[in-house]
C-alpha cells in the first residue's frame, strides 16, 4: 500500500527525502524517518507539496466534509491512493481521540471538567465524524486562513521543541523545513504549534511529557461571585492576564477607589492588571494556592485510579506536575502561606 501511495505522491509532485514507515501495533499509523544511511541536517526541507495536490477549504468543517465526500467516491476519487491509507474510525490512533471515548472513560478524567468542557465546545454533530477526526488531527494552516490536508506532511508527528517553518513559494508549492538535526533512521518530528496538553489530547489523542507550552486551567469559586478562570503555565507561573478579576474581587474599598482613581481611563481589567498592594496580592495568592492544591489532589488521585489507562494517566500526571510547580511558585513568593 505504501508503494501505491508513494507512486501517487510522485505523480502529484509531492516529495520528501524521508522514509515512510508503519507501526506493527496499528497498521494505519505511519510516520517519517531520516534515511537509514544518512542523517538529516538542520534546515532541511522535508516535504514539498504543490497546493493543487492538497485538499483545501476555508473552514475545518468544510474541509472535513470534502475529505469525507472524496472518501465516499472510493476508487473513483483522484485522492483514493492517499485516502486508502488514512486510519479508519475503529483504528487505535483515531479511537485515542476523546470524542470517541465512552462516557465512563471521559468521567474518569479528573481535570476540573476541562476536557468535558472542550468536548462540548468542539462538538460538531452535523459534520461527518471520520472526516472531522482526519481534519482535526492532520490539517495544517495556509496563508489566507485556509485549511489544508497535505499528504506526507500529515504523517509527521509532533515534538514541541522542534523549530518548524513552512512557506508557500510563488509557484504554489508548500515547503516544510525543520531546524533540528536527526540521526540516520531516526523518526523526524515537527512542531504543530505551541500546544497545551489539552489541545493535543483532544485533537490528536496524545499527551507530551514536560511540554514547555502546556497550560492548565483551574476555576476559582467564591461565595456570591462568578467563577474566575485562571491559567497555570508550564513553569508554574500564574498567567498575569487571568489575575485581574481576582485582584478586583479581593480589593478593599480603599484599594478599589485608589486603583480606579489612578487609572480613570482604564477598564477594570486594565486597572487591576498589576498588583494592587502587598496585602491584596497575598490574599490573591492564598485563594489561588487553595484552588491549585485542590486541582493537584484531584489530578493525582485520578492518575492513580487510571493507572491502567496510560493516556488518561499521562494527561493527569502532567496536570498534577504543573500544579505542583504552581504551588512551588507561590511558595517562593509567599512562604508564609505554607505551600
Instruction: Kindly compute the dihedral angle of the four CA atoms of residues 157, 161, 162, 166, in this order, to the nearest 10 degrees.
Output: 90
Q: Is the pLDDT of residue 10 over 90?
A: yes
Which residue has cell 476508487? Answer: 75
| Helical packing angle, 129-138 and 197-204, nearest 10° | 140
Mean pLDDT of 177-197: 96
By DSSP bridging, strand 189-190 and strand 157-158 are: parallel
Q: What is the pLDDT of residue 264?
A: 53
C-alpha cell at 141: 494552516
- Tell me the average pLDDT across 68-74: 98
- Residue with more model confidence, 1 or 185: 185
Going from N- to C-terminal start, the domains of the chain cover 2-204, 215-337
Q: Is-contact 28 85, C-beta < 8 A? A: yes
Question: CATH number of the domain at 2-204, please?
Answer: 3.90.1410.10
Q: What is the pLDDT of residue 262?
A: 65
pLDDT score at 1: 55
State the Cα–Cα distance between residues 116 and 22, nearest whole angstrom. 32
* Helix and strand counts by DSSP (H, E) for the chain: 13, 12
Question: What pLDDT is attached to residue 279?
Answer: 95
pLDDT digits (tens, 9 = 90+) for 226-248: 999 999 999 999 988 789 999 99
Residue 16 has pLDDT above 80, yes or no: yes
The reported pLDDT for the residue numbered 263 is 57
The answer on pLDDT for 292 being more than 90 is yes
**What DSSP state is assigned to residue 88?**
P
Question: pLDDT band at 267, cuts 50/70/90?
Answer: low
For cell 507530551, the residue is 208
Whether residue 135 is predicted with pLDDT greater than 90 in this model: the reply is yes
Q: How far apart are CA 5 and CA 122, in angstroms?
A: 32
- pLDDT value, residue 266: 56
pLDDT for residue 271: 80
Q: What is the pTM of this model?
A: 0.91
The pLDDT confidence band at residue 148, using thresholds 50, 70 and 90, is very high
The rounded radius of gyration (Å) of the Cα atoms in the chain is 24
What does the pLDDT read at residue 242?
84
Please check the confidence at residue 196 and state whether its pLDDT lies above 80: yes
272, pLDDT greater than 90:
no
> Which residues, in sequence order, are CB contacts of 31 under 8 Å at separation 6+?
20, 21, 22, 23, 155, 156, 157, 187
Higher pLDDT, 271 or 198: 198
- Taking each helix axis from N to C terminus, what angle separates 310-333 and 278-305, rounded to the nearest 10 degrees? 160
Residue 35 and residue 18 in contact, taking contact as beta carbons nearer than 8 Å: yes
Cβ neighbours of residue 8 under 8 Å, at least 6 residues apart? 81, 82
Average pLDDT over residues 15-24: 93
* Statement: residue 33 has pLDDT above 80: yes
d(CA 301, CA 85): 39
Judge whether residue 322 has pLDDT over 60: yes
Higher pLDDT residue, 271 or 1? 271
Q: Are 185 and 135 in contact (CB under 8 A)?
A: no
Q: Which residues contact 83 (CB under 8 A, 6 or more apart)?
A: 67, 70, 71, 77
What is the rounded CA–CA span in Å between residue 252 and residue 287? 15
Q: Is the pLDDT of residue 269 over 70?
A: no
SS3 assignment, position 183: coil
Amino acid at each position: 500500500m505504501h508503494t501505491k501511495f508513494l507512486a501517487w505522491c510522485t505523480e502529484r509532485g509531492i516529495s520528501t527525502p524521508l522514509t515512510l514507515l508503519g507501526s506493527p501495533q496499528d497498521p494505519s499509523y505511519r510516520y517519517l524517518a531520516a534515511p537509514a544511511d544518512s542523517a538529516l541536517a538542520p534546515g532541511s526541507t522535508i516535504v514539498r507539496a504543490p497546493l493543487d495536490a492538497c485538499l483545501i477549504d476555508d473552514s475545518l468543517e468544510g474541509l472535513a466534509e470534502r475529505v469525507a465526500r472524496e472518501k465516499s467516491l472510493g476508487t473513483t476519487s483522484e485522492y483514493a491512493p492517499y485516502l486508502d491509507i488514512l486510519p479508519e474510525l475503529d483504528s487505535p490512533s483515531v479511537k485515542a481521540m476523546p470524542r470517541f471515548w465512552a462516557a465512563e472513560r471521559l468521567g474518569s478524567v479528573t481535570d476540573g471538567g476541562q476536557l468535558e468542557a472542550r468536548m462540548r465546545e468542539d462538538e460538531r454533530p452535523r459534520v461527518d465524524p471520520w472526516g472531522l477526526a482526519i481534519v482535526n488531527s492532520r490539517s495544517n494552516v495556509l496563508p489566507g486562513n485556509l485549511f489544508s490536508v497535505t499528504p506526507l506532511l500529515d504523517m509527521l508527528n509532533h515534538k514541541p521543541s522542534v523549530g518548524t517553518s513552512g512557506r508557500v513559494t510563488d509557484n504554489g508549492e508548500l515547503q516544510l523545513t525543520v531546524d533540528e538535526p536527526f540521526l540516520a533512521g531516526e523518526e523526524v518530528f515537527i512542531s504543530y504549534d505551541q500546544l497545551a496538553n489539552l489541545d493535543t489530547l483532544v485533537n490528536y489523542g496524545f499527551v507530551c511529557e514536560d511540554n514547555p507550552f502546556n497550560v492548565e486551567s483551574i476555576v476559582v469559586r467564591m461565595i456570591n461571585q462568578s467563577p474566575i478562570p485562571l491559567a497555570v503555565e508550564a513553569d508554574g507561573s500564574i498567567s498575569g492576564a487571568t489575575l485581574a478579576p481576582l485582584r478586583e474581587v479581593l480589593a478593599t474599598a480603599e484599594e478599589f477607589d485608589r486603583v480606579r482613581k489612578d487609572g480613570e481611563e482604564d477598564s477594570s481589567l486594565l486597572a487591576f492588571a498589576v498588583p494592587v498592594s502587598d496585602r491584596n496580592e497575598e490574599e490573591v495568592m492564598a485563594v489561588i494556592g487553595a484552588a491549585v492544591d485542590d486541582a493537584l489532589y484531584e489530578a493525582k488521585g485520578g492518575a492513580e485510579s487510571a493507572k491502567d489507562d496510560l493516556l488518561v494517566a499521562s494527561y493527569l500526571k502532567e496536570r498534577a506536575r504543573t500544579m505542583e510547580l504552581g504551588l512551588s511558585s507561590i511558595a517562593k513568593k509567599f512562604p508564609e502561606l505554607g505551600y
